[in-house]
Structure 1
């Protein structure tokens, strides 16, 4: 989890997508996140975390619903939401926290 600590300490917003390959709503977010990444460029980072491969982190963050999206900036959680989101909303959120 020390790597996670490094990631959340970033000076740009970091959007984490907690997902599983067997959850349809989770996998439906992959193209949305590619669209967000293309639109936001270097102003934010997007990290996908498979909860099946990272159970300790998922438990520590109390990830229950999938997908769960969390934005961190400079070590602080800024936003969290479970369930699929649209690219426009995510782009606007990341722009808000990038400034």
Structure 2
């Protein structure tokens, strides 16, 4: 079952979108960091991974030029965006004000 992107991001809980690619080294480095963030924040965050090669129209809609690109949404609104690798602490600092 496919759910629309809008339905996924229209949530009271902050939703972190990870635009990534299988061939991207920094994306692979980021994956365990995202798992740790999810472990630490639990129900206070949803994390969704979007493969830019399999979802080209969505990547184009959000003007994703490089991977990884992270975007934080809440109630359908984009609150924050960053491209590139981030540390676990920097990522948590970006998310926590919005939970």
After superposing on structure 2, the runs of 4+ consecutive aligned residues of structure 1 that deviate more than 3 Å are none
Instruction: Check if 1:22 corresponds to 2:23.
Output: yes
Gapped regions of structure 1 (runs ≥ 5): none
Partner of 1:32: 33
Gapped regions of structure 2 (runs ≥ 5): none
Instruction: Give the TM-score of the pair, scaled to structure 2.
Output: 0.94
Cα separation, 1, equivalents of 2:4 and 2:39:
24
Instruction: Check if 1:51 corresponds to 2:52.
Output: yes
Cα separation, 2, equivalents of 1:40 and 1:2:
24
Instruction: Give the TM-score of the pair, scaled to structure 1.
Output: 0.94
Instruction: Check if 1:69 corresponds to 2:70.
Output: yes
User: For the aligned residues, what is the CA RMSD?
Assistant: 1.2
Structure 1 residues 58-97: aligned runs within 5 Å: 58-97=59-98
How many residues are matched?
Answer: 98
